[in-house]
Amino acid sequence: MIDSIKKITASILILAVLFFSVLAVLSIWDIIEVEQVFRKSLLTLVVIFCSSVVILFVFSNFLKGDDNRGNQPPR
């Protein structure tokens, strides 16, 4: 379950980065005549990065499996 959530989240983040990168490149080359698109794209990527750091922190600290059970001596 957690692996599928991680894969879906990674796919969404990759698609968002690709979308905003293409938008920024089109803005740099003046194909899109929208002011401050590049700045807004970078700020959006920063927000996506910060939220993915929080998600990674939650997954790695609170939603761990019982991987440490094998290290305990038998009873």
Total Cβ atoms within 10 A of residue 59? 14
Residue 32 contacts residue 11 (beta carbons within 8 Å): no
Q: Write the pLDDT tens digit of every residue in 34-46.
A: 667 667 777 887 8
Residue spans of the domains in the chain: they are: 2-62
pLDDT score recorded for residue 59: 78
Q: What is the pTM of this model?
A: 0.53
